[in-house]
Amino acid sequence: MCVHASYFSTACWKFNNIYLLSIFYYSAPDHCFSDPCENGGSCENGDDGFTCTCEPGWMGETCETPDFCNGDPCKNGGTCTNGDNGFTCTCAPGWIGETCKIPDYCFGDPCKNGGSCKNEDDGFTCTCIPPWIGDTCEGMY
């Protein structure tokens, strides 16, 4: 009588009322053997390949690409996008600057009646068109 198990490949023959059994054990290939994960990444075997878990500051299939957005450089709700040589922030409304740290005092169009707004260090300045005057171009002369 022959017994079969799912993790073994078996072959069974009957010869002169004696059963002959060959058992072959198969193991999954070690996809991590070549150490494919770069920059300190750790490798985990899968059925069809491997998965790298990257160290902070790295990303990509084999942790080969710098993650310039690591550490959340974009402040005040800004969204970070990795580039080839750095990152770009898309600032949330009301914020400006390379890392969205500067308030956008012109957000919401404080200058009325066609006036143009310029951000300053501690506020904004309106340039009014005639006949409008005042801090927010709401008065007439």
> pLDDT tens across 8-19, in order?
455 555 667 666
CATH superfamily of 105-141: Laminin (2.10.25.10)
Query: pTM score, two decimals?
Result: 0.66
For the domain spanning 72-101, the CATH number is 2.10.25.10
Cα 112 → chain centroid: 40
pLDDT in tens, 48-96: 899 999 999 999 999 999 999 999 999 999 999 999 999 999 999 999 9
Q: Tell me 117's DSSP state.
A: E
Comparison of pLDDT for 109 and 15, the residue scoring more = 109
Top pLDDT among 16 and 41 is at: 41
Count Cβ atoms within 10 A of the Cβ of residue 104 and give its class: 0-12 exposed, 13-18 middle, 19 or more buried.
Answer: middle
Q: Where in the chain is the domain with CATH 2.10.25.10?
A: 72-101, 105-141
